[in-house]
């Protein structure tokens, strides 16, 4: 068993034993609260959680700032169409594309790691109600993901606009639909984390769940875009199943 798996095993055993004692002492209505405390203990004591959250913030902030800087130093072609189509908010939030993978993997590991180490049996012995166990994992992951995602997207936005303002291309949160876009990016990352948790619960195998996550999040949108670019009868057929602009 690897060092990471050993640490997961130890933290899960400690959290599960604490939960079992707490459940014995507290009324049944407090089971969810004890389960939440147990899941929080397991989540914060595993090194992979810290790295996944660091990567989520790093990709969101670092790549967003880098893409904004790269746009300022691009080769100027002088085409008016490129200037009119430029979206400073989108440019500063481009890091979300890779950040979604990091936070999605975190969601997968929240559940699949327990199946990999066999600690799911200990968790279920402490919380026999599977719905309560899954609900507690979902709540803890959602709260942590939401906090990290929102902080990351707002920092990425402000840094990106600070860079773009060097060429007077930046915008502010008071601009049309800007605040909605930033909040939407944070909510999107949170939902991807929950989606990863769902895949980990269904597949139960870390490699398979991560492969499914990458395929759905990265490859499926590209295939849908290609299908929407078809012309003639194929486009009319697939546009009934997919949201294609101008269909």
CA-CA distance, 152 to 147, in Å (whole number)?
9
Per residue in 102-126, pLDDT (tens digit) is 999 999 999 998 988 888 888 888 8
Per residue in 167-193, pLDDT (tens digit) is 778 888 988 889 999 999 999 999 999
For residues 223-242, give the mean pLDDT: 60
Assess contact for 81 and 23: CB atoms under 8 A.
Answer: no
Q: 211 pLDDT band (50/70/90 cuts)?
A: very high
For the cut 60, the answer to whether the pLDDT of residue 235 exceeds it is: no
User: Token match 């979902």: residue?
Assistant: 138
CA-CA distance, 111 to 57, in Å (whole number)?
22
Q: Given this model, what pLDDT does residue 60 score?
A: 96
Q: Given this model, what pLDDT does residue 129 score?
A: 86
Q: 27 pLDDT band (50/70/90 cuts)?
A: very low
86 phi-psi bin (left φ>0, alpha ψ -120 to 50, beta other): beta
Q: Given this model, what pLDDT does residue 170 score?
A: 83
- Among 10-14, 41-45, 201-205, which stretch is predicted with the lowest mean pLDDT? 10-14
Task: Kindly state the percentage of the chain with pLDDT values over 90.
Answer: 46
Q: Given this model, what pLDDT does residue 1 score?
A: 42
Per residue in 74-90, pLDDT (tens digit) is 766 655 555 667 889 99
For residues 214-242, give the mean pLDDT: 68
């Amino acid at each position: 068993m690897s060092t990471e798996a050993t640490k997961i095993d130890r933290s899960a055993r400690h959290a599960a034993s604490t939960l079992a004692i707490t459940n014995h002492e507290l009324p049944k209505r407090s089971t969810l609260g004890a389960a939440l405390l147990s899941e929080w203990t397991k989540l914060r004591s595993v090194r992979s959680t810290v790295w996944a959250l660091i990567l989520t913030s790093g990709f969101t902030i670092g790549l967003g700032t880098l893409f904004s800087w790269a746009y300022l130093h691009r080769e100027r072609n002088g085409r008016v169409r490129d200037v009119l189509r430029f979206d400073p908010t989108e440019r500063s939030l481009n890091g979300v594309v890779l950040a979604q993978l990091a936070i999605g993997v975190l969601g997968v590991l929240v559940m699949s790691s327990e199946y990999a180490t066999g600690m799911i049996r200990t968790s279920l012995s402490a919380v026999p109600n599977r719905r309560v166990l899954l609900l507690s994992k979902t709540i803890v992951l959602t709260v942590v993901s939401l906090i990290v995602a929102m902080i990351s997207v707002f920092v990425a936005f402000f840094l990106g606009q600070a860079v773009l303002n060097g060429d007077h291309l930046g915008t502010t949160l008071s601009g049309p639909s800007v605040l909605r876009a930033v909040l939407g990016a944070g909510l999107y990352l949170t939902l991807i984390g929950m989606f990863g948790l769902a895949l980990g619960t269904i597949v139960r195998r870390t490699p398979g769940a991560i492969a499914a996550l990458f395929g759905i999040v990265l490859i499926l949108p590209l295939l849908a875009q290609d299908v929407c670019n078809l012309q003639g009868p194929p486009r009319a057929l697939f546009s009934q199943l997919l949201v294609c602009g101008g269909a």
